[in-house]
Amino acid sequence: MSSPRSRVNGFLAAGHVCAVMGTEEYIPLAAKYKVPIVVTAFEPLDLLQGILMCVTQLEEGRHEVENQYERLVRAEGNRPAQAMIREVFQVVRRTWRGIGPIAESGLGLRPEYLEFDAEKRFGVEAVGGPESTECQSGLVLQGLLKPQECPAFGTRCTPEKPLGATMVSSEGACAAYYRYRRVMA
């Protein structure tokens, strides 16, 4: 959202994440970037309602955190689970596929749990996941490129042989466009 080129106007926040973390951390983000954030569950009707709530906010010029997943998500989240996460992990800089490094955006093991860190235990710290130079998933994630506008879409990049993050998981934009391409055509 800090990128001046980003065309993302609103977010459906992942319901399973918010079931643990709650919704409060999103409030300053919605205010700072003036975007609606709607916590949304995963059934088809949930998604439709989440999209409707997001679009309604945009049409009314609002940018609030709303909770479509009220049947499970509480504003404060799951406090015991949060305490366990805080005990084991600390906030660290993390590199995101298609986007690059973002400060304070990931979790890493606290020093007292480093003996369980596979990278250190097995000496594989240098192992990374280099991305295809052909992949443009960063542009897809920022709303700057439709998946089918990528030259590799559906040819050199498919769900069976993905080149980037947005084709890897079934909910990724490129994978969804690939799966439903005949419906959208």
Our finding on whether 147 is near ligand SF4 (CB under 6 A) is yes
Binding residues for ligand SF4 restricted to 18-47, rule: CB under 6 A: none
Task: Write phi, then psi, for 141 (nearest 5 degrees).
Answer: -65, -25
Q: Which of 60, 167, 169, 185 lies at the binding interface for ligand SF4 (CB under 6 A)? A: 167
Query: Cα separation of 82 and 18, whole Å?
Result: 11
User: CA torsion angle for 36, 42, 47, 51 (degrees, to 10)?
Assistant: 10
End-to-end C-alpha distance for the chain, whole angstroms: 30
Segment interacting with ligand SF4, rule: CB under 6 A, options 47-55, 64-72, 87-95, 149-157:
149-157
Query: Is 9 exposed, middle or buried (CB count within 10 Å of its CB: 0-12, 13-18, 19+)?
Result: middle
Q: Is 141 in the site for ligand SF4 (CB under 6 A)?
A: no
Query: Which of 21/152 has CB closer to ligand SF4?
Result: 152
Q: Summarize as ranges the residues that interact with ligand SF4 (CB under 6 A).
A: 134-137, 140, 147, 150, 152-153, 157, 162-164, 166-167, 174
